[in-house]
A and B are shown apart, each in its own frame.
Chain A
Amino acid sequence: MLTNLIIVLIIAVIVAGAAAKLISDRKKGGPCSGCPYSGLGDQSCHGQDHLSCDQTAEGNQ
């Protein structure tokens, strides 16, 4: 019983860690954890923030 509880805790920690990393990267502006090019920092410009991030809409016209 105790062993099962420990295993549950280990799995919960692993899954929570992975989820926390995903959420944290998402909050920093990354569309996808670990994407090597799109940047993990808050200065990255992509996804839904594209037009409001760095450039003007007419830049793409």
Chain B
Amino acid sequence: MKIALTGNPNSGKTTLFNAITGKIEYVGNWPGVTIAKKEGDVKKALNKGESRIRVVDLPGTYSLSPFTGEESITSEFVKNENPDVIINIVDATNLSRSLFFTTQLLELGIPVIVALNKCDLLHKKGIVIKRAELAEKLGCLVIETASTQGHGLPELIEQARIVYGHQQTAPFPGLNANVKDHAADDRIKHERFAFVEQLVKVVEMRNVASNKQTGQDAADRIIAHRVLGIPIFAAVIYVVFSISQTHVGPLFADYLVGWIDSFYEYVEGLMGADVSPVLSSLLLDGIIGGVGAVMGFLPLIMVLFFLLALLEDSGYMARVAVVMDRYLKRVGLSGKSIIPMVIGTGCAIPGVMATRTIRDDRQRRTTAMLTPFMPCGAKLPVIALFAGVFFSDAAWVGTAMYFVAILIIITGALIVKRITNEGSAKSYFIMELPDYRLPSLKRAFISMISRAKAFIIRAATIILLCNAVVHLMQTFTWSFQVVEPGMENTSILAGIASPFAFLLIPLGFGAWQLAAAAIAGFIAKENVVGVLAVVYSITNFIDTEEFVLLSGAGDVAAVMGLTSVAALAYLMFNLFTPPCFAAIGAMNAEMDSRNWLWAGIGFQFGVGYTVAYFVYQVGTLMTTGNFGAGVIPGLLGVMFIAGVIVFLIRRNDHKSKIELKEAV
């Protein structure tokens, strides 16, 4: 038996899906989180029958007439893939909005059960719904559920088994209408709305007038204010970074790093002195040390993910989307562009994938190009490393990276708008703001564990392999001889990275080790940390005392050959150059244009180089009174990048003029 879970955006489908299948799919307290269908089996505790029940969680939609890609997934599935039962999740606190879609589902002939979700909020909101009457009028079962608490779920699954195989009758005769006939379609829509309006009048009683300003509305006037919203967001992110990277995170990190060090010493002791130094170094420094350096940041990342999950669950991030939407629309992006960018703070891949909700090609491609600038989870260890080692765990570093990313996105959108010279398609960002609620610690914990698991998998796979390869490349020369002590410049790794390092001199980090780490970052951004650990033979980045023990606190910069300004430039170069290859693959798919893809990658390189150049050169000028090394060649490079952009803008201006003349 196959059950389709359908409903409006943010009605709680994925939460219900997770509750009945036991899966941990990403949920968010805002609309548009699910952009692809997800499948799972009903867990044994809820399935009283013998046969397997498959459940398909579908993206939210308001109608069976799709407007966007993800809405078409739902429409296509319920119409063409013959689910045996449809569970229509209806937000009980917003009945009038939800039932339009319900009436359409009832016309498909497939048995429908309405899950009246979020019933736990009805009393609080002063809403009473006559469930029996609603069921009678719709001609289907209506079951009260609260998926966040598991309420009503056993009954829901049991009833789904009972109605399986029955024919659904529609309360509304719209099925036979010819939908290609716009006049008939419009007439049916009006009738459908009238039917729903009449139905809601009968079955719903609201004790609180909807036009009365509530405490939530008052809070939104401040939190989602177009000006105040920005400093509030900055303060919130600062507090999040402060807790995760300065206070709570390092406490746990110390324990983990201690265990990693103990494991390192244990393995070292097991091997003894007779083992080949090459093998010993590969296992200890390349694999355990490299992976351990990345893993050491896990507690910091987990605390950060936990706090971000609390923010999402509270409904705050939806307000951030509203605040940022105003600015993004002004620079030619879609109102929906903010959603991929917020999702991109977790991982750039789903962020880029979420751009498919944007209908206009230029806006979708621009958003896909700009979304990876948001610092994703993989970039957090890099931020944490540099904030910890060079800026005394300063929370402002992480906060500043988010705001620099936003500035880059806005500037980038303006540049793309000028280059493409296309008028923006008018877009609206209609998002029902979810209610503020006390965030669930359990949900935040599950979200944190899920992301931590992902982090560990990446560390144990792609990071481990990269570190092993990098270590081997650092150990051998091109003639496959072991590199002599003090002759590291002759290694394969140095040979490959040195030409790139030469290009990075104007940015303040011309060492081949740093170039190698930056290059490895394109495979996975955490690699920057792992490779730095391997090439500098540092197994523990968290405890900066190791640096102190090595050569004194004042010589920390000398270990990597970086000043604080150069370190900031290096951090920004890694954050704002192209994302990992997997995210580039997602960009390729969503842009659906080779020209846009290459232009996007070129633009990301240009931005990363330019930002790092100015941070280093201006920062060095401010701190030492002189420009840093390579100021003129770097300036030429930046001027070349600017020249390309100006050329593209002028070329398209010229093209537009010619087209205009021809049109006249």
Contact = CB atoms under 8 A, between A and B. Distances in A.
**Do A and B originate from a single complex?**
yes
Interface of A: 3-4, 7-8, 10-11, 14-15, 18-19, 21-22, 25, 31-39, 41, 43-51, 53-56, 59-61
Given A41-B39, A48-B589, A3 B350 contact: no
B461 A38 contact: no
A22 B275 contact: no
A21 B36 contact: no
A29 B530 CA distance: 26
Contacts of A46: 36, 349-350, 353, 586, 589
A4 B585 contact: no
Contacts of B458: 32-34
Contact of A18 (B76, B275, B460): B460
B275 A7 contact: yes
B36 A45 contact: yes
B39 A4 contact: no
* 10 nearest A-B pairs in the assembled complex, by CB-CB distance: A34-B457, A59-B69, A37-B350, A32-B582, A50-B589, A45-B36, A34-B454, A36-B454, A59-B72, A31-B582
B279 A7 contact: yes
B503 interface: no
A33 to B, nearest CB: 5
Contacts of A60: 68-69, 356, 359, 361, 364, 592
A53 B590 CA distance: 13
B359 A61 contact: yes
Given A7-B271, A34-B454, A35-B350, 14 more contacts: A11-B279, A11-B282, A15-B468, A18-B461, A22-B465, A32-B524, A33-B458, A36-B454, A44-B36, A46-B589, A49-B589, A53-B36, A55-B72, A55-B356
Interface of B: 25-26, 35-39, 66, 68-73, 76, 271-272, 274-276, 279-280, 282-283, 287, 343, 346-347, 349-350, 353, 356, 359, 361, 364, 377, 450-451, 453-458, 460-462, 464-465, 468, 524, 580, 582-583, 585-586, 588-590, 592
13 contacts: A3-B275, A22-B462, A31-B582, A35-B350, A36-B451, A39-B36, A43-B36, A44-B36, A46-B36, A46-B586, A51-B592, A61-B359, A61-B361
Contacts of B346: 36-37
Given A15-B468, A46-B349, A59-B68, A35 B582 contact: yes
Contacts of A8: 279
A48 B279 contact: no
Contacts of A21: 457, 460-461
